[in-house]
Amino acid sequence: MEVGGPGLVYLDIAGLRGLFGDEGEIGRRLLSAAAERGHEIRVGVAGSRISALFACRWGRGVSVLEPGGEAAYLAPAPLSLLELSGEMAARLEGWGIRTLGALAALPSAQLFERLGSEGIRLQRLARGEDPRPLRPWEPPLILEESAELDWAMETLDPLVDALAKLAELICDRLVRRGLSADQLEWICRLAGGLRHEGSLAPAFPMNESTAVTALLRASLEARPPRGAVEAVTLRARPVRVPPAQTSLADPSRPSPRLLSAALARLAALVGAQQIGIPVLLDSHRPDASKLAPYPHPDPLPPRGGETRPALALRRLRPPLPAGVTLGAGRPVELRSERLAGRIVISVGPWRASGEWWTEHPWLHDEWDVELGDGTVCRLAHDGSAWWLEGIYD
């Protein structure tokens, strides 16, 4: 079985006729099994993966293509089945090519001269030719080690020593495979049949047993098991970290191992929920953000070699209460602890609201104003009070 993408699965049914019937019967069995689980699917059966995909998308229910008849069956199918780029679709449309059969009938040599290897690839797909074998789906690799303890451990140090031995075994398997662990889970079986479970995600995938043991110790110190431990299990989710060569021009970065250890100690002190990277939420509410766990991708570099100066808003957190005098519905004077003066220019208001479906809806108007001394700032009015939200630099 190969997972071809969202909602798409390829199956090799060769040799199943004696068990489940012919290809049509196997397709009907698949339809029935999906319907019993509340899913509506389509099935295409052909000698190649691409032919089966086209038959599935173009047909209804179960579509079975006879061996050797893929090209004839697909000839009247629309060219949109190929999922062409906009430029390629426009070019073929300009040539009057609208079906798979019309593309398949073009002379290959002339097609290569005009479209290169991409044209030949599309023509082979239009003919139902797809020689690549299936890539079998494999369950995610999870490395696990367990140990039955000789006696129930009631203190933390011997428990960490037992986990250190398991971490050494797992890290040795990771190194041999060229992998690292980006998530660790442990299960402690307590006396009386209870379980103590926990997990941690290092700031950087690692395969060093010493660093892993330090993280496990910090996590267990923050939340120790409540009882004697009789057996322990340690699991690691491996990932492949591509090697990257650092540039001499880049600023130096901290060691991933030291960074992970420092974050683990901080999490033990203040809680794992209080450690992370601030990430903006998809909301119009100002300063709507949350803490996302490490790691987090680096910000994109600026485009081009030139940077243009921009006006930046230095937000005040929390915003300062302000007194605002209105004239003809517009702010004309500002009084606050930080700024005070006559408003010479005002732009706004910009009304923003949201989360009305929750217990804490919000609504406010924002104004950008310039004072008599040239200071530009941001004001907000929430319906009952004015606030100085920031000052432009």
The domain that holds 98 is classified in CATH as 1.10.150.20
| Separation of alpha carbons 367 and 119, rounded Å | 56
Q: Are 366 and 393 in contact (CB under 8 A)?
A: no
Residue where a domain stops, chosen among 192, 212, 239 = 239
Q: At what angle do helices 108-126 and 86-94 cross, to 10 degrees?
A: 120
The answer as to whether 87 is a domain residue is: yes
299 domain residue, yes or no: no
Residues 107 and 156 in one domain: no
Among 239, 268, 297, give the residue marking a domain's end: 239
pTM over 0.85: no
116 vs 120: CA distance, rounded Å:
7
Three-state SS at 385: coil
**272 is a domain residue:** no
CA distances from 354 to 114, 278, 351, 360, 384 (A): 53, 21, 10, 9, 17
Query: Looking at the structure, do residues 121 and 42 belong to the same domain, yes or no?
Result: yes
Distance CA 272, CA 293 (A): 9
Tell whether 116 and 150 lie within a shared domain.
no
Q: Which residue has the tokens 């020593």?
A: 161
Residues 119 and 9 grouped into a single domain: yes
Number of structural domains (the chain) is: 3
Q: For residue 89, count CB atoms less than 10 angstroms from its CB and return exposed for 0-12, middle for 13-18, buried for 19 or more.
A: middle
Domain boundary among 176, 204, 239: 239
- In a shared domain, residues 182 and 76: no
Residue 138 inside a domain? The answer is no
- Partnered with residue 76 across adjacent β-strands are none
Q: Which of 61, 35, 30, 67 is nearest to 48 (CA)?
A: 67
Domain shared by 79 and 34, yes or no: yes
Q: H-type helices in the chain, by residue range?
A: 17-20, 23-36, 49-58, 70-74, 86-94, 100-104, 108-126, 156-177, 209-222, 256-270
Read off the DSSP letter of residue 206. B
Residue 191 lies in a domain: yes
**Rounded distance between C-alpha atoms, residue 65 and residue 70, angstroms:** 6
For residues 11 and 116, state if they share a domain: yes
**Within a domain: residue 105?**
yes
Question: Per-residue confidence of the chain (393 residues) as pLDDT tens digits?
Answer: 888 878 888 888 888 888 888 888 988 999 899 999 998 888 988 888 888 888 888 878 888 888 888 888 888 888 888 888 888 888 888 999 999 889 989 998 988 888 888 889 888 888 888 877 778 877 778 889 999 988 888 888 888 899 999 999 999 999 998 888 888 899 999 988 889 998 888 877 888 888 888 888 888 888 888 888 899 999 999 888 776 666 666 666 666 666 666 776 776 677 666 777 777 777 767 777 777 766 544 433 444 444 556 678 888 888 899 998 988 888 899 898 888 889 888 888 888 887 778 887 878 888 899 988 888 999 998 888 898 988 988
Helix axes 156-177, 209-222, angle to 10 degrees: 140
Q: Which amino acid is at 227?
A: G
- Would 298 be classed as within a structural domain? no
CATH number, domain at 154?
3.30.1490.100
Range of the domain at 159: 143-239
CB 260 within 8 A of CB 226: no
DSSP class of residue 127 equals: T
Residue 135 lies in a domain: no
